[in-house]
Amino acid sequence: MGKTGEQSTFILFLVYFLAISAYAADIKHLNIWPMPKSASYGYKTLYLNNDFELKTDGSKFNDASKILNDAFLRLIDVVKGTHVIEAGTSKTDPSLVLKGIHVVVLSPSDELQHGIDESYKLHIPEKGNPLYAHLVAQTVYGALHGLQTFSQVCHFNFTSRGIVVNQVPWTIVDQPRFSYRGLLIDTSRHYLPLPIIKKVIDSMAYAKLNVLHWHIVDSESFPLEVPSYPKLWNGAYSVSERYTIADAIEIVSYAKRRGINVLAELDVPGHALSWGIGYHALWPSTDCREPLDVSNEFTFKLIDGILSDFSKIFKYKFIHLGGDEVNTSCWESTPHVRKWLQKNGLNGSEAYQYFVLRAQKIALSHGYEIINWEETFNHFGSKLSPKTVVHNWLGGGVAQSVVEAGLRCIVSNQDKWYLDHLDALWQDFYSNEPLTNITNPKQQALVLGGEVCMWGEHVDGSDIEQTIWPRAAAAAERLWTPYDRLAKDPEQVTDRLSYFRCLLNQRGVAAAPLEGLGRAAPEEPGSCYMQ
C-alpha cells in the first residue's frame, strides 16, 4: 500500500473512532429500527446475566408449540453471536444484573392470520430484586416483535467483554401502523434454495415485516410439486430446482414461527407458459403458449386442483391470483379458441374478465379471499368480487381509486418499491406513502399496507440479500411506524438506518451499503457506519 493509501485508511479509521466515541458519549441516541410508536429511556447501564432466562409466569399462552421459547433462544443467539462472551456476572453488583425477561402473553392462541394484534409493551427497569425486563403482548406474535426490539437495545461491551443494556430505564409501547407489511420473492425466474428462503425470512423478522409473498411460478419455470397434477413441475428448470410439498410446508411453518404469513401466488391466466410443459392442453396451441386456454374446461379443473392442494399448505386467508400483463391476441388468432369466443359472444378483453372472475370463484370456494394485480381493477374493477384486494404496482394514484370504489388495496408501486429497480434509492423507499391523497378515515382503513417486490430476473442465492437490504428496511419503517413519528426528510434517519444495516451484517445478513444504487459494493476501505 502506498503512503497516500495509508493516510486515507488512517483518516477513515479516525472518523470511525470519533463516530463511535460520539455514539458512546451520547446515550440519548436512539438506534431502534423501525422506530417504535413511543419510547422513553434513561441514562443507566445494566449487565445481561450470563444465564439470561425467559420467565412466563401469569401468561395465558402455554407455548406448547415452543414458538415463544424458540424465539427467546434466537434472541440469545443474535445478541451473543457478534463476539465471544468472556465476562461473567457473578462478581457484578446484583442490582446491575438483568437476570432475564418476563413475558406475559394475554391470548392462549398461536393462530397467525391477517389482522391479529401485533402490539407489545416493553419495560426494562433500573431497579428490581431480582431484576427482569418485562414484556406484555396480546398475542405471541406481538411478543416476538418485542423480543426483536429488546435485541436491538443489547450491545457487546468491550470493557466488560459481556452484553449490556444502555439507556435504562426503557419503556416502549409499540404497534404497527399497517397490518400488511410484505416482501415478494420470485422463485420462478431463478430457483432459491430452501436455506436462502429461510435467511430471507429471518431478516424480514428483524425489520418486523410480516408477509412473505411467494411468487412461486411464472412463464419461465414451475418448481412446485402439486400432488393433484404431478406433471406440473416438469416445468422446473431442472430436477434439482424444485420444491416438494414438504418443502412448502416447512417454509410456511418456519415463517409462522417468526410471525410471518406466507402469501402464495398462482398468476393466471398470463405468465403461465411453464404450466404447459407438463400438460400441453393448457396451451391454446404450440404457437400460442400463454395465456392459459380459456376455452378448455381442463384449465379450470386444474386451477381448482392446485388451489385445493394449496389450501392444505397455505393457511393465510389470502391467495394471490395475479391477473397482470395479459395479452389476449393469440386467443383471438387460435382457431378453436376464436370459435369458443364467438360461441359465447366474447372478445379477447371480455374473455380475460371471464377467466379472472371464474378463477376468483374457484379460490372463494376453497375459503380464500383474493389478491389480484391492478390490471384487473383497471379493466373491470366493478365486476371483481368484493373480497378482492387490488395490488397496485404500475404507479401512483391507484390506491386512491381502489378505495374510492370500496375495495381494499396493497401498495407496491414499481417506481418506488420494486427492489429489482437498482436505481430506486433507499430515500425513495422511505418516502413512499401508501395513503397519499387518501384523507377519508374509512378509505384509509381499506389500504391494508404495502409490499416491496424482489423480482428475480437478476437475483438468485448469490445476491438476493444485498439487493433486498437495506432498502426494504426503509419501507418497513414506513409501514410500521406511526405517520407522525416518521421523518419528513429521509436524510434525518440516515445514521439510524446505517446502524441497522450494520446490525444486519453482524447477524450474517449481506445488507449492502446505503450509499450508491441497490446492492452497491463499498467504494473504499472504511467503517460500516460510514457507508
If we measure between CA atoms, which residue out of 115, 32, 27, 25 comes closest to residue 485?
Answer: 32
**Does residue 156 contact residue 118 with C-beta atoms inside 8 Å?**
no
Its sign, for the CA torsion 307, 310, 311, 314, is negative
Pairing of strands 170-174, 44-55: unpaired
Q: Which three cell numbers stand for residue 288?
A: 400460442
DSSP secondary structure, 14-79, as one string: HHHHHHHHHHHH-TT----SSPPSEEE--SEEEEEEEEEEEE-TT-S---TT-HHHHHHHHHHHHH
Helix (H, G, I), strand (E, B) or coil at 408: strand
Is residue 457 flagged as an active site residue?
A: no
At residue 521's C-alpha, the angle toward residues 515 and 522, to 5°, is: 65
Nearest to 217 by CA among 364, 315, 354, 322: 322
Q: Using the 8-state DSSP alphabet, how is residue 451 labeled?
A: E
Helical residues (DSSP H) of 371-470, grouped into ranges: 375-380, 398-404, 414-417, 426-431, 441-444, 464-468
Closest by alpha carbon to 480, among 134, 120, 74, 28?
A: 120
Nearest to 519 by CA among 478, 462, 448: 462
Alpha carbon distance 452, 477 (integer Å): 12
How far is 125 from 131, CA to CA, in rounded Å?
8
Residue found under cell 384487473: 376
Q: Which of 53, 325, 404, 523 is catalytic?
A: 325
Phi–psi pair at 182, nearest 5 degrees: -110, 165
Place of cell 401512483: 396
Residues 6 or more apart whose CB falls under 8 angstroms from that of 140 comprise 61, 63, 67, 68, 105, 107, 110
**The Cα angle at residue 158 between residues 155 and 164, in degrees rounded to 5:** 30
Give the distance from CA 374 to its chain's centroid: 20
Enter the DSSP assignment of 511.
P
Q: Per residue in 10-21, is it b (16+ CB within 10 Å) or e — as a string? A: eeeeeeeeeeee
Residue 227 CA to residue 456 CA, distance in Å, equals 26
DSSP label at residue 214 = E
Q: Which residues are catalytic?
A: 325
